[in-house]
C-alpha cells in the first residue's frame, strides 16, 4: 500500500498516458478524441504567424493570412463530417493523422527551402555589394523604395524558420 503513494516517474506517466489512449476503454477513447480535436486547432496560429513573417509587402501578407485562416476554418467544417464511426473513429483518426504528418513533412520541406533561399539571397547581396557598394541612393538596389516594391523578393529579406 505504501508503494502506491510514491509518485511515478515522468517516463512511466508518459507510458501510462499513451497506453490509456490505445486501451479500448470508452472513456479513454473519448479522451483521445478530445486531445486530437484540440491538437488540430493548435496549428492555425502557428501557420498564420509563419505566413505573416515570411510574406511582404502588406497586401500579399494580408491575403496569405486570410487564405490560411479560411482554409483552417474550411477544414474545421469538413472535419465535422468525418466522425462517423464511434467510439473509436478509425476513419477520422486516420485522416487527421495523415494530414498532421503531411503538415510536418511540408513544414520540414519549407524549412529546407527557406534556408536555401536565404543562402541564395546572401550570395546575391555579396554580388551586388561588389558591383555597386551600398546601392542606397534613389533607385538603388538597397533603397527603401526598392525594398518596399520587392517585399520578400528583395535580396536583403530573410525568411524566418
Residue 6 counted as domain residue: no
Confidence of residue 88 (pLDDT cuts 50, 70, 90): confident
For 3-20, the pLDDT digits (tens) are: 444 445 545 544 444 544
Residue 50 counted as domain residue: yes
Residue 86 counted as domain residue: yes
**DSSP letter, residue 129:** H
Range of the domain at 144: 42-153
**The predicted structure's pLDDT at residue 16:** 46
Residue 37 counted as domain residue: no
Residue 33 counted as domain residue: no
Question: With contact defined as beta carbons under 8 Å apart, do 138 and 147 qualify?
Answer: no
Instruction: Count how many domains the chain has.
Output: 1
Residue 9 counted as domain residue: no
High-pLDDT (> 70) share of the chain, %: 81
Global model pTM greater than 0.75:
no
- Show contacts of 81-90: CB within 8 Å, 24+ apart: 83/33, 87/26, 87/29, 87/30, 88/24, 88/29, 89/29, 89/33
CA distance 74 to 90: 21
Residue 34 counted as domain residue: no
pLDDT: which is higher, 99 or 7: 99
Amino acid at each position: 500500500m505504501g508503494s502506491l503513494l510514491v509518485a511515478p516517474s515522468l517516463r512511466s506517466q508518459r507510458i501510462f498516458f499513451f497506453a490509456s489512449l490505445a486501451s479500448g476503454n470508452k472513456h479513454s477513447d473519448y479522451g483521445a478524441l478530445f486531445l486530437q480535436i484540440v491538437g488540430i486547432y493548435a496549428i492555425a496560429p502557428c501557420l498564420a504567424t509563419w505566413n505573416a513573417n515570411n510574406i511582404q509587402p502588406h497586401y500579399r501578407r494580408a491575403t496569405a493570412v486570410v487564405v490560411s485562416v479560411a482554409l483552417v476554418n474550411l477544414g474545421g467544417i469538413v472535419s465535422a463530417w468525418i466522425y462517423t464511426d464511434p467510439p473509436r473513429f478509425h476513419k477520422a483518426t486516420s485522416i487527421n493523422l495523415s494530414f498532421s504528418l503531411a503538415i510536418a513533412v511540408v513544414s520540414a520541406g519549407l524549412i529546407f527551402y527557406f534556408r536555401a533561399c536565404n543562402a541564395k539571397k546572401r550570395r546575391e547581396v555579396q554580388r551586388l555589394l561588389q558591383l555597386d557598394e551600398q546601392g542606397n541612393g534613389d533607385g538603388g538596389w538597397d533603397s527603401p523604395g526598392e525594398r518596399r516594391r520587392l517585399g520578400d523578393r528583395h535580396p536583403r529579406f530573410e525568411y524566418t524558420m
